């Protein structure tokens, strides 16, 4: 079987790897991110065929193109296991109509109640198959930096996966209590969790250094092991996310909400720029998508970037009620830059080294125009987030989590400013129960108590929605991981935990 789909690096177009190599390695040795040299095409006829399939069929059809060097029957089995009984909805990613023309794409019916499950339930199968093909059965050590949701989803995906270990670093004071308990009670024999005194950007930067440290690589080689990443810098995270946008479009056409070929805007609450980048790729493949609406919280570096072309991370970092978006360095933007520069790897390298050196880079005017043509960016502060949660519940009987509320508010502001009446899909990225304190406070106007399980029961009865069992069970699970470290100590923790 010969691969047609070749991947290269954002920082070196000369790099040529297959999908399996890209997924096994996670990041290219010179620090760039892998991306395909060309995208598969989605035309009307193919969308028609896809509309007749279920979620798994669509996933196999689309991922088969991107992962063409994988054994396709193994891929089909992996997809069946990943998107099976772990999802509470038969449709995997059900759509709820908020009001005419506004659709909530609920991406949180998986085992950890956030959209990360859509990629991370599948990724372990892809990584182990890729490692078998490309790394000769070496042990794969997955290192994860999380802003809250990736950590749990990756732990749940990789727990007891043969030939793997997984170690997650999370910001000790930057996640919700439910998010933290989900991680620190994780079961499985190959898992580790460590809180860091620092924010997500600190942990992500420290891990990138560890990934590209040659001395550590030599120690891994001696142990017949490799590192890989479960963060959205790994192509194996992004590809599965393309599927749900395509699938949602098909569902809307099937349900008569959209005419075939009709444009659909997509609004995404954004942090590391992975989820919205997947929507961009779906558009580039041919899905009829209009504007991509990029919604930030108070950490509004992306909103500024899309309006001015200046990416400036030298600003105050805020801890917000939407912690999974508390990010100032959005890694996946690098992949978009590769496209916007006309695939100019030297220009991307220049931007990224300016960002590392000076903390800022500026797009030339032409690139800014191209960016604005595809994207609209804005942000929503904490008060607006709370008001949006309350308003959606009162007016539409829809309970949304703070991340989703950010997207809803930015979308509404967009409509007000532009008058664009295009139907819109909003990525609903987490269960409101994961952020029970903020959601309950938004609804009742009262600060919540200290007992998160009492809060969970209160929110459940107030909203008339049953608690997901995987959240209820946290109350009785023992805490297994209490270790914390400084960000400077992460390298030591990695070496010790993995016995290097
Ligand atoms: C991760 C996450 C986001 C941000 O997604 P990116 O792909 O990092 O932009 C938004 N909402 C929730 C609930 C998340 O877990």
Could you read off the pLDDT tens digit of each residue along the chain, which spans 500 residues? 457 899 999 999 999 999 999 999 888 989 999 999 999 999 999 999 999 999 999 999 999 999 999 999 999 999 999 999 999 999 999 999 999 999 999 999 999 999 999 999 999 999 999 988 887 878 999 999 998 899 999 999 999 999 999 999 999 999 999 999 999 999 999 999 999 999 988 998 999 899 889 999 999 999 999 998 898 899 999 999 999 999 999 999 999 999 999 999 999 999 999 999 999 999 999 999 999 999 999 999 999 999 999 999 999 999 999 999 999 999 999 999 999 999 999 999 999 999 999 999 999 999 999 999 999 999 999 999 999 999 999 999 999 999 999 999 999 999 999 999 999 999 999 999 999 999 999 999 988 788 999 999 999 999 999 999 999 999 999 999 999 999 999 999 999 999 98
Distance CA(92)–CA(428), nearest Å, equals: 13
Query: Could you tell me the CA-to-CA distances from 499 to 44, 419, 469, 480, 494 in Å, in that order?
Result: 53, 58, 35, 19, 8
Using DSSP's 3-state secondary structure scheme, residue 92 falls into: coil
Q: Residue 359: which region, alpha, beta or left (left: phi > 0; alpha: psi -120 to 50)?
A: left
Label residue 309 exposed, middle or buried (CB < 10 Å: 0-12, 13-18, 19+): middle
Classify residue 434 by its DSSP letter.
Answer: G
If one counts every other C-beta atom within 10 angstroms of the C-beta of residue 370, the result is 17
Distance CA(360)–CA(314), nearest Å, equals: 7
Residue nearest to atom 8 of ligand 1 (CA): 272
Ligand 1 atom closest to Cα of residue 116 = 15
Interacting residues of 33 by C-beta distance below 8 A, sequence separation 6+? 9, 10, 27, 233, 235, 331, 332, 334, 335
Residue nearest to atom 14 of ligand 1 (CA): 324
Ligand 1 pocket test: pick from 110, 113, 115, 375 the residue with the most ligand atoms within 8 Å of its Cβ: 115
Quick one: pLDDT at residue 2?
Answer: 58
User: Minimal CA–CA distance to 179: which of 319, 308, 370, 386?
Assistant: 319
Q: Indicate if ligand 1 lies below 6 Å from the C-beta of 269.
A: yes
Distance CA(104)–CA(91), nearest Å, equals: 14
Distance 326 CA to ligand 1 centre (A): 9
Ligand 1 atom closest to Cα of residue 430 = 13
Q: Indicate if ligand 1 lies below 6 Å from the C-beta of 116.
A: yes
Using DSSP's 3-state secondary structure scheme, residue 257 falls into: coil
Q: Indicate if ligand 1 lies below 6 Å from the C-beta of 272.
A: yes
Using DSSP's 3-state secondary structure scheme, residue 184 falls into: helix
Q: Where are the alpha helices (DSSP H) in 431-489?
A: 436-444, 452-463, 469-472
Backbone angles phi, psi at 146, to 5 degrees: -130, 145
Q: Indicate if ligand 1 lies below 6 Å from the C-beta of 232.
A: yes
User: Minimal CA–CA distance to 340: which of 360, 367, 302, 376?
Assistant: 367
Ligand 1 atom closest to Cα of residue 147 = 1
Q: Indicate if ligand 1 lies below 6 Å from the C-beta of 325.
A: yes
User: Minimal CA–CA distance to 482: which of 119, 180, 230?
Assistant: 180
Q: Indicate if ligand 1 lies below 6 Å from the C-beta of 199.
A: no
Distance 237 CA to ligand 1 centre (A): 12
Q: Indicate if ligand 1 lies below 6 Å from the C-beta of 106.
A: no
Residue nearest to atom 2 of ligand 1 (CA): 324
Q: Indicate if ligand 1 lies below 6 Å from the C-beta of 114.
A: yes
Quick one: pLDDT at residue 159?
Answer: 96
Ligand 1 atom closest to Cα of residue 148 = 15
> To the nearest 5 percent, what fractions of the chain are helix, strand and coil?
50, 15, 35
Complete DSSP assignment for 292-351: EEEEE-S--HHHHHHHHSEEE--S-----S-GGG--SS-TTHHHHHHHHTTS-HHHHHHH
């Amino acid at each position: 079987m010969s691969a047609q789909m070749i991947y290269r690096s954002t920082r070196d177009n000369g790099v040529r790897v297959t999908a399996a190599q890209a997924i096994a390695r996670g990041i290219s040795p010179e620090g760039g991110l892998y991306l395909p040299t060309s995208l598969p095409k989605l035309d009307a006829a193919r969308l028609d065929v896809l509309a007749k399939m279920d979620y798994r069929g669509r996933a196999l059809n689309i991922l088969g193109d991107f992962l063409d060097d994988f054994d396709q029957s193994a891929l089909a089995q992996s997809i069946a296991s990943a998107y099976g009984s772990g999802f509470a909805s038969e449709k995997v990613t059900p759509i709820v109509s908020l009001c005419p023309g506004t659709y909530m794409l609920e991406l949180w019916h998986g085992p950890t109640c956030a959209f990360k499950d859509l990629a991370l339930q599948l990724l372990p199968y892809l990584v182990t198959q890729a490692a078998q093909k490309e790394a000769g059965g070496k042990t794969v050590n997955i290192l994860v930096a999380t802003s809250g949701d990736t950590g749990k989803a990756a732990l749940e995906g990789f727990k007891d996966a043969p030939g793997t270990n997984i170690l997650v670093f999370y910001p000790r004071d930057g996640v919700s209590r439910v998010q933290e308990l989900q991680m620190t009670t994780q079961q499985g024999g190959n898992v580790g969790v460590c809180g860091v005194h620092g924010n997500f950007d600190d942990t992500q930067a420290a891990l990138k250094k560890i990934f590209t440290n040659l001395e550590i690589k030599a120690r891994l080689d001696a142990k017949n092991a490799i590192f890989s990443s479960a963060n959205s810098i790994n192509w194996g995270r992004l590809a599965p996310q393309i599927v749900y946008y395509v699938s949602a479009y098909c569902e809307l056409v099937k349900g008569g909400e959209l005419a075939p070929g009709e444009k659909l805007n997509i609004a995404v609450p954004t942090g590391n720029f992975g989820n919205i980048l997947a929507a961009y790729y779906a558009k580039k493949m041919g899905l009829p998508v209009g504007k991509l609406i990029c919604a930030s919280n108070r950490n509004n570096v992306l909103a500024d970037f899309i309006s001015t072309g200046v990416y400036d991370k030298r600003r105050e970092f805020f801890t917000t009620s939407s912690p999974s978006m508390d990010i100032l360095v959005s890694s996946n933007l690098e992949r978009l830059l590769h496209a916007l520069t006309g695939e100019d790897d030297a220009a991307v390298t220049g931007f990224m080294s300016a960002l590392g050196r000076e903390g800022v880079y500026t797009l030339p005017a032409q690139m800014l125009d191209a960016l604005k043509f595809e994207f609209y960016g804005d942000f929503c502060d904490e008060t607006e987030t709370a008001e949006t949660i309350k308003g959606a519940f009162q007016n539409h009987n829809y309970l949304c989590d703070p991340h989703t509320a950010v997207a809803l508010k930015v979308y509404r502001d967009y409509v007000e400013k532009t008058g664009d009446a295009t139907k819109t899909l909003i990525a609903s990225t987490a269960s409101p129960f994961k952020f029970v304190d903020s959601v309950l406070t938004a609804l009742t106007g009262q600060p919540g108590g200290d007992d998160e399980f009492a809060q969970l029961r209160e929110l459940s009865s107030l909203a008339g929605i049953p608690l997901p069992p995987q959240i209820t069970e946290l109350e009785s699970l023992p805490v297994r991981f209490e270790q914390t470290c400084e960000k400077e100590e992460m390298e030591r923790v990695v070496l010790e935990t993995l016995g290097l």
